[in-house]
């Protein structure tokens, strides 16, 4: 293993008095006095460095980042896969990147056509009738979808529906979104197989049920075998079913949530459809829905207009009973271009292959590691597999220690301690873009870490050993970040 020796000096610490980074040409215009000479200070400690030093400083900083372009990143539920660079190139084309959201529609017909096609692709992929692209995160899509469900009930004068059912395995954004719509959240337990407890669900459904929010496959990476029964129970009670489709990697080309009984869902373009993500943005969480809910979609959507000459044009429109806007304009347009390019590049057969490879990869990891880490639900998984470090914990080594040790081997930690119903959870999502060699290496490293947990646990507790910083006080780093250079005392 080799690690770059990083020069970790801050820019100020590289400063040498009198050194300059640029040479300006001689002044060829009259010198101008400053408007307020008092603002001119010579006691500011500005760094005096050469150009080369500045480049080294920032390049070194960039090397301290971990990214999917440099290393394997099996972060469950986040789908950190390789995103083809051509999709970025398409998004940078001046006709897409330099248009203004207030430009007249007649001058941006190409962009509107792209958005209109993407609405159609996403509706088709999810088995729905309509789609809106304006929502800019998965969580925002959830909020919009739940507001649509609320608006639907109210439009029918069905005012007594106050409860939203959410399984105990749900992503935290689900109960949060329901609560933000003013709903009371009721948690439904999972059964011993990792499916939703059907009896508990049936008992919870009544005339106060506004709907159910469900992830499929669920956050345990498992396909709920009772899904059509679940949707039927909610519908019979007069509720609607919301699908958290943040991760479509397991289903693409094989199953459509709309056909299984879901009424509305969001898709994270920044997970499944090729927008690089991490660091908080930018995202895109389009909402797809059936005909019942289409009039309530967020504004704007893009409509096709038949022209008298037989041609077609496109315009922005507000659905009849829209819940309103999700943001200033039309969503994160660059993300839409990436998703469109990705879908067109792969075509239907390519999309199908994504889910096949993603599911095979996860099951490959599952079967290779099942004797080394506890598998809380012993059945084939979909695109991700959740292990528990319960056995290691009995020897004092936690899921956190395992995760931190992976960093020493150049592998990003899996998602930890989620879903909440698995103790010491390690949620691994290999993704379809990783080679067999990468998965084999991950498996060998995980086995080696399991061995270390038994024979030399301290190595894990002190990990990571090779990074510029080891264990951080994460609460303090978030609450009291130290972002400012200060001269050394004295």
Ligand X SMILES: *Cc1c(COP(=O)(O)O)cnc(C)c1O
Confirm or reject binding of residue 171 to ligand X (CB under 6 A). yes
DSSP code for 25: P
- Residue 215 interacts with ligand X (CB under 6 A): yes or no: yes
With CA atoms as reference, report the closest residue to 422 among 459, 376, 456. 376
Minimum CB distance to ligand X smaller for 175 or for 361: 175
Kindly state the smallest distance separating residue 383's Cβ from ligand X, in Å.
Answer: 11
Least distance to ligand X from the beta carbon of 225, Å? 19
Task: Annotate each residue in 58-97 with x if it binds ligand X (CB under 6 A) or - if it does not, as one string.
Answer: -------------------x--------------------
| Of 243 and 261, CB closest to ligand X | 243
Least Å from the CB of residue 184 to ligand X: 20
Rounded to whole angstroms, the Cα distance separating 193 from 376 reads: 9
Question: Looking at 136-144, 391-399, 421-429, 449-457, which segment touches ligand X (CB under 6 A)?
Answer: 136-144
Which one, 95 or 281, has the nearer CB to ligand X? Answer: 281
Interface of this chain with ligand X, residues 217 to 236, rule: CB under 6 A: 219
Residue with Cβ nearer ligand X (215 or 290) = 215
Output the smallest distance, CB 485 to ligand X, in A: 32
Write the CA distances from 357 to 222, 237, 249, 361, 442, integer angstroms.
16, 38, 9, 6, 17
Residues 229, 204: Cα–Cα separation, whole Å: 14
Q: Can you name the residues that pair with 45 across neighbouring β-strands?
A: none
Bridge-based pairing of strands 264-267 and 287-289 is antiparallel
Interacting positions 285-324 with ligand X (CB under 6 A): 285
Q: Does 268 engage in binding with ligand X (CB under 6 A)? A: yes
The answer to the question of residue 274 lying near ligand X (CB under 6 A) is no
Helix orientation angle between 436-455 and 333-369, rounded to the nearest 10 degrees: 50
What whole-number distance in Å separates Cα of residue 137 and Cα of residue 143? 10
Asked if 276 touches ligand X (CB under 6 A), the answer is: no
**Residues in contact with 445: Cβ distance below 8 Å, sequence separation at least 6, in sequence order:** 406, 409, 411
Q: Which residues of 402-417 are buried (b: 16+ CB within 10 A; e: fewer)?
A: bbbbbbbbebbbbbbb
Cα(29)–Cα(372) distance, integer angstroms:
74
457 near 395, Cβ under 8 Å?
yes
Paired tokens of 5: 């020796």
Give the interface segment with ligand X, choosing from 55-63, 134-142, 319-327, 421-429 (CB under 6 A). 134-142
* Interaction of residue 173 with ligand X, rule CB under 6 A: yes
180 SS3 class: helix
DSSP state of 305: E
Minimum gap (Å) between residue 249 Cβ and ligand X? 11
Shortest gap between Cβ of 289 and ligand X (angstroms)?
17
The distance of closest approach from Cβ of residue 262 to ligand X in the complex, given in angstroms and rounded to an integer, is 14
Query: Where are the extended beta strands (E) located within 160-281?
Result: 163-167, 184-188, 209-215, 240-245, 264-267
Q: Taking CB under 6 A as the rule, does residue 427 contact ligand X? A: no
Nearer to ligand X, 238 or 419 (CB): 419
Binding flag, residue 263, ligand X (CB under 6 A): no
Nearer to ligand X, 190 or 452 (CB): 190
Q: Does 139 bind ligand X (CB under 6 A)?
A: yes
By the rule CB under 6 A, 400 interacts with ligand X: no
Of the candidate residues 74, 127, 132, 138, the single one contacting ligand X (CB under 6 A): 138
Among residues 230, 272, 253, 228, the alpha carbon closest in space to that of 384 is found at 272
- Nearer residue to ligand X within complex by CB, 249 or 290: 249
| DSSP characters over 411-456 | BPPPEES-STTSTTEEEE---TTS-HHHHHHHHHHHHHHHHHHHH-
Q: Return the C-alpha torsion angle 223, 224, 228, 234, nearest 10.
A: -130
Q: Does 246 bind ligand X (CB under 6 A)?
A: yes
Residue 384 is a binding residue for ligand X (CB under 6 A): no
By CB under 6 A, name the one of 127, 283, 414, 430 that touches ligand X. Answer: 283
Q: State the minimum distance, in angstroms, from the CB of residue 447 to ligand X.
A: 27
Instruction: Give the Cα separation of 448 and 51 in Å (integer).
Output: 44
Q: State the nearest-atom distance from the C-beta of 470 to ligand X, in Å.
A: 28
383 binds ligand X (CB under 6 A): no
Which residues of the shown chain bind ligand X in the complex (CB under 6 A)? 77, 137-139, 171, 173, 215, 219, 244, 246-247, 268, 283, 285
């Amino acid at each position: 293993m080799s690690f770059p020796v990083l020069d970790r000096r801050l820019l100020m610490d590289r400063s040498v008095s009198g050194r300059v980074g640029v040479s300006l040409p001689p002044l060829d215009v009259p010198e101008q006095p400053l408007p307020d000479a008092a603002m001119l200070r010579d006691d500011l400690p500005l760094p005096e460095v050469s150009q080369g030093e500045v480049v080294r400083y920032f390049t070194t900083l960039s090397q301290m980042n971990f990214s999917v372009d440099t290393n394997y990143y099996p972060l469950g539920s986040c789908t950190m896969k390789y995103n083809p660079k051509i999709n970025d190139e398409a998004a940078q084309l001046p006709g897409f990147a330099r248009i203004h959201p207030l430009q007249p529609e007649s001058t941006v017909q190409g962009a509107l056509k792209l958005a209109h096609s993407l609405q159609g692709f996403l509706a088709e992929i999810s088995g729905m009738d309509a789609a809106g692209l304006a929502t800019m995160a998965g969580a925002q899509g959830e909020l919009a979808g739940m507001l649509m469900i609320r608006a639907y009930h109210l439009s029918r004068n069905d005012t007594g529906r106050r409860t939203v059912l959410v399984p105990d395995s749900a992503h935290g954004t689900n109960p949060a979104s329901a609560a933000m719509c003013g709903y009371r959240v009721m948690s439904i337990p999972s059964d011993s197989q990792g499916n939703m407890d059907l009896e508990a669900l049936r008992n919870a459904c009544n005339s106060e049920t506004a709907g159910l929010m469900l992830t499929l496959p669920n956050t345990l990476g498992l396909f709920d075998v009772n899904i059509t029964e679940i949707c039927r129970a909610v519908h019979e009670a007069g509720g609607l079913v919301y699908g958290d489709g943040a991760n479509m990697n397991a289903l693409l080309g094989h199953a459509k949530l709309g056909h299984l009984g879901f009424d509305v869902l969001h898709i994270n373009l920044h997970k499944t459809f090729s927008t690089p993500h991490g660091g908080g943005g930018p995202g895109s969480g389009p909402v797809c829905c059936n005909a019942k809910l289409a009039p309530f979609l967020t504004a704007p959507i893009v409509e096709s207009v038949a022209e008298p000459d037989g041609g077609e044009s496109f315009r922005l429109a507000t659905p009849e009973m829209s819940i309103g806007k999700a943001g200033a304009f039309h969503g994160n347009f660059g993300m839409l271009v990436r998703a469109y390019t990705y879908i067109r590049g792969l075509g239907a057969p390519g999309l199908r292959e994504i889910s096949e490879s993603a599911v095979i990869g996860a099951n490959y990891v599952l079967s290779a590691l099942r004797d080394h880490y506890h598998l809380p639900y012993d059945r084939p998984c979909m695109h991700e597999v959740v292990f528990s470090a319960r056995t290691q914990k009995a020897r004092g080594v936690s899921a956190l220690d395992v995760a931190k040790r992976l960093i020493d081997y150049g592998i990003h930690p899996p998602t930890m301690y989620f879903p909440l119903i698995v103790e010491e959870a390690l949620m691994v999502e290999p993704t379809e873009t990783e080679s067999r060699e990468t998965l084999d290496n991950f498996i060998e490293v995980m086995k080696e870490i399991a061995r270390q947990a038994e024979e030399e646990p301290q190595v894990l507790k002190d990990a990571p050993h090779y990074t510029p910083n080891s264990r951080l006080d994460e609460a303090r780093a978030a609450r009291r970040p130290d972002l400012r250079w200060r001269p050394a005392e004295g």
